[in-house]
Structure 1
């Protein structure tokens, strides 16, 4: 990753190489068109500060996939508001999918996911506002060294919303809906400092309101003894279906709970996400089979739920700092 570029710049550099074409370029405003062979739609990128910007998506219909290793940033936060249409966002290994519809507000942050994890997005006539914040750049811009505690409090606030999960989705209240739609009124080719500051102020207000609202909604979710029983049931279902596990939504339905409580419960009871927990089980099961059977690596990868043996090997190396083949050789020499 280029240390001189913030996460937003890196993201759009990747998008331009694969999915988008620039049609307008100004210092604070860049317009993109979705490449015809991929789909349709427009994106307006508004750059208010290094590390602080938002994107207006207009009638986007296309799919994309990015490796986590391309966007591995601890302090990155995205706030996504759906104006119309639909977006399905998810992680390939985690099988954790979020469906965004009109009025939905979603928080997303990378939580040290495996480098081999793929971030997928499918947009169906989607229009929305996506706010991107690079925390490390904002620290340089808005926080001095003597205000390090403020940044720590900010991180705590975001963590209190996500609770170790990658996503958190709620219905936006009317006040945030109106503020989001206010962003559509600006002329983003700013001619003076005053208009730029007004837009920046509005965006900071939206971020503050959204985070406060997310915290308040998260506090409403409490686990009962019955919830805990369902979470243990979910754990057993995942282990029994290690090769073809259900999605988070399917698992929630099978256990008569909702995805928020399921993910919150796994974090509280197992200090992991449901598919983070399953990934651990897969790795240890794979290691056991490598050390105690003569099955080849491809068979073992398939048995523990990996259709691509190379992805199994990469995940195994990240977990145990040794490849499956090396693990087998070491075990034979013991």
Structure 2
């Protein structure tokens, strides 16, 4: 990314801007954020945002020492941020309804978790030190999908971060050596594409794993969890593997061979993390895909059934009605009726 050498100073600009996130297919999605436009214009030069999966974005930040920042900010709706800095030197003030909530001075390598909805403030970076670090931003609902019942073992002080009604939360601590090492491998990655993207996405899940296992989770005794910290990433890989083979789902034996986890731990660990059995997850994914296909109005009930792996259409109809309380035919009729009405209006 291009890095201008002259120091830059910014002031408040009320025009809120969009920034681009690189998607897994190479395309870009524009996302509106509650930050001043001038700040986003400058920060975008030093921040690379990569979509790891739907709802999970990795932000890689590398600001040269000679860039000076002084800007106000306002966050309207904030996702949950987890990340770490390798080096930094800045001051921040946070306000809510005009009242000072917190003044923060941060320097060096730190781990942080934050959520700052309906918050304004001021940040200053002096032109003396590089800022290098990364963050993962996601909705707390995605965290529940990724980690399931493991969130029961969060340290008490971190539980509010995963609640919808929490506006301002910020915790900054020393970063663990493992998390710091993974962050370095991402920031200083020298691979060319497409290997670089594959490497960074795999490492992003490691960041999540270490953030939770080494910073956010209380010590879990062996009688509470069947999973070791390094098996959390494997469970996420298993779920992704199932989703990408939903038409012909892998057997338990195949999943065990794929992950290197025995059948018992695989079944128990999947249920612990995601709150459902492997079979239950497969059925849920199949029904979700079927509903999406029907809602396009481009497929018949039989075509949808065959596409998601049903050889008996009546079995598909029964399963769909059990899940959505209507038959696929009823849903398709409703969709086509709405499409016809829309074309008539046009």
TM-score range with shorter-chain normalisation?
0.3 to 0.5
Q: Which has the larger radius of gyration?
A: 2
* Structure (1 or 2) with the greater helix fraction: 1
TM-score by length of 2: 0.43
Structure number with higher relative contact order (C-alpha < 8 Å, ≥ 6 residues apart)? 1
